[in-house]
Structure 1
Amino acid sequence: MAAKSTSAPRERTGSGHDAGEEPRLRVLIGSDTYPPDVNGAAYFTERLARGLAARGHDVHVVCASTGGRPGVRRAGGVVEHRLRSMPSLVHESVRLALPPGAPGHLDRLLRRLRPHAVHVQNHFLVGRLLLGAARRNRIPVVATNHFMPENLFNYLYVPGPLRAGIGRLAWRDFRRALAGVQHVTTPTRIAAQLLLDQGFDRPVEAVSCGIDLERFHPPGGGPGERARIRARLGVPDRPTFAFVGRLDEEKRIEDLIRAVPRVPVDGAQLVLAGTGAQRARLERLAEEEGAADRVRFLGFVPEEDLPLVYRAADAFAISGIAELQSIATLEAMASGLPVVAADAMALPHLVHVGRNGYLYEPGSPDDLAKYLGAILASAEERSRMGAASREIAARHDHERSLDRFERIYRDVASRSAVLGSAA
């Protein structure tokens, strides 16, 4: 991964190029999920697009429209091409682009823009349509994988006995869809190895989703500021661990709720920020566990207020077992929080046992509660581990990720002899 530059800010010319540097890029990013969708892939795609635009590049995004009708708008320096869509039958917050007419529309868009590279964030409807259009128009393609079959099983109501077989079919479809792309990335080395283990026979590069270290940072006023933030969020001033993310089945939030009455710290509470299909079931579980007064459901938190949730907490806990990186965990670490995470998939990539937190056995709330208790009971441990979390998160500065993606786009464009003719 490219190192972050420490030189002075580069001068911008009127043409949008950096003085004395390579010409600006024209990039078309395609994704089936994009804000206002609430998920890690959507947030990463928006952060990538707007980060590139802030560097002076010409950035376009193809995604589903939010209300059904197609349209084009500029937001955050990015031109959004919203395709006609319909509500998803599997998730309330996701809409599906409608294929009729889309291939011709994308062909015309690519012929008009002639981007140096197309970057697809998935291999579903939008990604697959854009892959086909890019191949027809000889535009090089970069693909980033955020996919695991486990993240779809619950939405599609796949019975447990069928999941292994359907997972194999899903990975076969993935390999076929991305067979011809020029460069493949995924957020972590563990996620890259997963693709190789599933028979993907192309090199896969680990490029972190990145984190905005200026936006996510520890509270500057110590315990007093944390108490004020809790009051603003309507949360009691007690020892607090938090989770930020969707309240859906694959996140296994029942582990977190069952841990609450087992944490050996008086008054310890759990704050959950996010929405999802499992909220009513989780509220009932909190009552059954006798912890309803110590599990706080904040619901949807506006993007501008999200950093406050982390600053209100003493620790962060995550129980999902299908995380390819976990942007929420990175945000918590950048905010100076110790982390207790399920020992599964890519989470051990972020949590260094004894240094910035602990890993617990998935499905064991007693194990989780033990580690949370050790952190919440010791201000010294929280301070030490929080500083280590911030240090580890600094390696995932989103500016480094932007540096690397810029270079990838230039490399694939150069290899495809596009850069000179399209500039």
Structure 2
Amino acid sequence: MTSTPESTPIRILIGCDTFSPDVNGAARFAERLAAGLVRRGHDVHVAAPSKKHKTVGAFRETIEGEQMTVHRIASWRWYPHDWLRFVLPWRARHYVKQILDQVKPDVIHIQSHIVIGRALAHEGAKRGIRIVATNHVMPENVLDFTLLPERAKRLFVRWGWYDADRVLRRAAAITTPTRRAADFLERNTYRRSVLPVSCGLRASDYTAIVGPREHNKLVFVGRVTLEKEIDVIIRALARLDADLNATLTIVGDGDQRKALEKLVAELGLTSRVHFTGRVSDEELRGHLTDAAVFVIASIAELQSIATMEAMASGLPIVAADAMALPHLVHHGENGYLFQAGNDRELADALTKVLTADPAEYERMQHESLTAVQAHDIDRTLDTFESLYRGTPVA
């Protein structure tokens, strides 16, 4: 695609292997990106798996309050996982060719290199369409959804990064949500000059009540899956001084819920741990506003939109010192970091927040509110508009 004036609308095709109604960071980013681009006057199309096997075709859908065309591709449920659906790789190119013939996009923005993104990168490159790629996937994380033995898993990871490189080399620009994620990608592939671009959010969508809380409510938001290590949070809760009367609300759902409910019962915490299951955006924001501290023990975050949402809600954060979380949580400033998997250290960090004097607690709140401003969605949209047009990124 040749450069176009900044005022000219762009026809953008966003390729996603996970999208609404899925609930995960990659899907949420793609939804906010697409909606933000529509608000700026661009012609946005999305290629994504079907909601059901027979739900195939182009549909006008409302995403994040904006109307756009979503091209649903026939997909099948992956039964070891609670919601994951996949498009048959050998059929993806067939569908993608049809979509490209219909849409004729100026630019393709793929959100992964797995199936739909791979097909779009291959067919788009053949047609000379500019390709921008964002990587949300580590092969290591995909292993949680497989039943492979350990030796096969190691081979899969090596092959996964090699395969990612083969797809990403077709892109004119590659982004990841954080600098650490970009470094990780560059270490494992031959790609260089990977650009960190925050997933972004609009802080004004969240309500922050500055000041100490009457109740010591801990909150976690995210998929209830292995890599989130929610069991570490539950074990840390059991270590807290009973006089703190701390509770934990787990906002989200996933394949580990039954195992975690069993752990809660074994530790005698049934009255102090609440599983909400899937909730609306309004309910999610309410849980964040009402909490005293946000806690996340995940070891696989390439950014963590949930942590940014908690920061926008004015919460101190206690997070594992793993992957991209230290980019959001500055130890001793807007919260504390703890050694991943160490529930004793997590309990100590939570105690510091819950027993902080009012002035110190409010200081951490203000630090979160200040830090999240760097992740404003308009900065993200500005950057991607420049990448789509092939103009220098500010």
Is the structural similarity TM-score above 0.5?
yes
Please say if 1:276 is aligned against 2:254.
yes
In structure 2, which of residues 51, 57, 60 is the aligned counterpart of residue 71 of structure 1? Answer: 57
Match of 2:353 in 1: 375
In structure 1, which of residues 199, 208, 225 is the aligned counterpart of residue 198 of structure 2? Answer: 208
Q: In structure 1, how many angstroms separate the alpha carbons of the residues matched to 2:219 and 2:331?
A: 19
Q: Aligned letter for 1:56?
A: G
Q: Aligned letter for 2:20?
A: P
Q: In structure 2, how many angstroms separate the alpha carbons of the residues matched to 1:257 and 1:382?
A: 23
Please say if 1:241 is aligned against 2:226.
no
State the SS of the aligned residue for 1:406: helix
Asked if structure 2 preserves the Cα contact closer than 8 Å seen for 1:343 and 1:359, the reply is yes
| Aligned-pair CA distance for 1:303 | 2.2
| Aligned-pair CA distance for 1:301 | 0.9
In structure 2, which of residues 377, 380, 383 is the aligned counterpart of residue 398 of structure 1? Answer: 377
| Aligned-pair CA distance for 1:214 | 1.4
Asked if structure 2 preserves the Cα contact closer than 8 Å seen for 1:182 and 1:412, the reply is no
Q: Aligned letter for 1:35?
A: S
Match of 1:307 in 2: 285
Q: Call closer, same or farther: CA 1:266–1:104 in 2, change over 3 Å.
A: closer
State the SS of the aligned residue for 2:148: coil
Asked if structure 2 preserves the Cα contact closer than 8 Å seen for 1:315 and 1:339, the reply is yes
Match of 1:131 in 2: 121
Where do residues 25-174 of structure 1 align in structure 2 (5 Å cutoff)? 25-69=10-54, 70-74=56-60, 75=62, 76-99=66-89, 102-174=92-164
Runs of 4+ in structure 1 off by over 6 angstroms are none
Match of 1:421 in 2: none
Could you report, residue by residue, the CA deviation over 1:193-222 in whole angstroms, capped at 9, with x for unpaired residues?
Answer: 0011113333200000001211123137x6
Could you report, residue by residue, the CA deviation over 1:378-409 in whole angstroms, capped at 9, with x for unpaired residues?
Answer: 23332110110111011000111011101110
Asked if structure 2 preserves the Cα contact closer than 8 Å seen for 1:150 and 1:250, the reply is no
Match of 1:361 in 2: 339
State the SS of the aligned residue for 2:157: helix
State the SS of the aligned residue for 1:243: strand
State the SS of the aligned residue for 1:200: coil
Stretch moving more, 155-164 or 343-352: 155-164
Asked if structure 2 preserves the Cα contact closer than 8 Å seen for 1:31 and 1:127, the reply is yes
TM-score when scaled to structure 2?
0.92
Structure 1 unaligned runs (5+)? 1-19, 227-236, 414-423
- Report the number of matched residues: 381
Q: Aligned letter for 1:367?
A: E
State the SS of the aligned residue for 1:292: coil
Match of 1:416 in 2: none
Asked if structure 2 preserves the Cα contact closer than 8 Å seen for 1:337 and 1:389, the reply is yes
| Aligned-pair CA distance for 1:100 | 5.6
TM-score when scaled to structure 1?
0.86
Q: CA RMSD in A?
A: 1.9
| Aligned-pair CA distance for 1:290 | 2.0
Stretch moving more, 300-309 or 400-409: 300-309
Q: In structure 2, how many angstroms separate the alpha carbons of the residues matched to 1:115 and 1:73?
A: 17
Asked if structure 1 preserves the Cα contact closer than 8 Å seen for 2:298 and 2:320, the reply is yes
Q: In structure 2, how many angstroms separate the alpha carbons of the residues matched to 1:101 and 1:198?
A: 28
Could you report, residue by residue, the CA deviation over 1:168-188 in whole angstroms, capped at 9, with x for unpaired residues?
Answer: 221111111212211100000
Match of 1:8 in 2: none
Could you report, residue by residue, the CA deviation over 1:327-386 in whole angstroms, capped at 9, with x for unpaired residues?
Answer: 100110111111111011111111111100111011111100111011011233321101
Asked if structure 1 preserves the Cα contact closer than 8 Å seen for 2:71 and 2:99, the reply is no
State the SS of the aligned residue for 2:383: helix
Could you report, residue by residue, the CA deviation over 1:1-45 in whole angstroms, capped at 9, with x for unpaired residues?
Answer: xxxxxxxxxxxxxxxxxxx95211110000010010010000000
Q: In structure 1, how many angstroms separate the alpha carbons of the residues matched to 2:172 and 2:21?
A: 29
Q: Call closer, same or farther: CA 1:100–1:158 in 2, change over 3 Å.
A: closer
Q: In structure 1, how many angstroms separate the alpha carbons of the residues matched to 2:370 and 2:332?
A: 14
Q: In structure 1, how many angstroms separate the alpha carbons of the residues matched to 2:91 and 2:140?
A: 31
Asked if structure 2 preserves the Cα contact closer than 8 Å seen for 1:243 and 1:316, the reply is yes
State the SS of the aligned residue for 1:147: coil
Q: Aligned letter for 1:103?
A: R
Q: In structure 2, how many angstroms separate the alpha carbons of the residues matched to 1:110 and 1:245?
A: 34
Q: Aligned letter for 2:58?
A: V
Q: In structure 2, how many angstroms separate the alpha carbons of the residues matched to 1:41 and 1:201?
A: 21
Q: In structure 1, how many angstroms separate the alpha carbons of the residues matched to 2:98 and 2:144?
A: 37
Match of 1:387 in 2: 366
Q: In structure 2, how many angstroms separate the alpha carbons of the residues matched to 1:90 and 1:127?
A: 23
Q: In structure 2, how many angstroms separate the alpha carbons of the residues matched to 1:321 and 1:199?
A: 21
Q: In structure 1, how many angstroms separate the alpha carbons of the residues matched to 2:28 and 2:38?
A: 15
Q: Aligned letter for 1:136?
A: K
In structure 1, which of residues 172, 183, 186 is the aligned counterpart of residue 173 of structure 2? Answer: 183
| Aligned-pair CA distance for 1:99 | 4.5
Could you report, residue by residue, the CA deviation over 1:214-262 in whole angstroms, capped at 9, with x for unpaired residues?
Answer: 1123137x67xx7xxxxxxxxxx73111100011111111100001121
Match of 1:258 in 2: 235
Asked if structure 1 preserves the Cα contact closer than 8 Å seen for 2:217 and 2:293, the reply is yes
Asked if structure 1 preserves the Cα contact closer than 8 Å seen for 2:16 and 2:111, the reply is yes
In structure 2, which of residues 344, 365, 386 is the aligned counterpart of residue 407 of structure 1? Answer: 386
Q: In structure 1, how many angstroms separate the alpha carbons of the residues matched to 2:140 and 2:209?
A: 35
Q: Aligned letter for 1:167?
A: V
Asked if structure 1 preserves the Cα contact closer than 8 Å seen for 2:132 and 2:171, the reply is yes
Q: Aligned letter for 1:388?
A: E
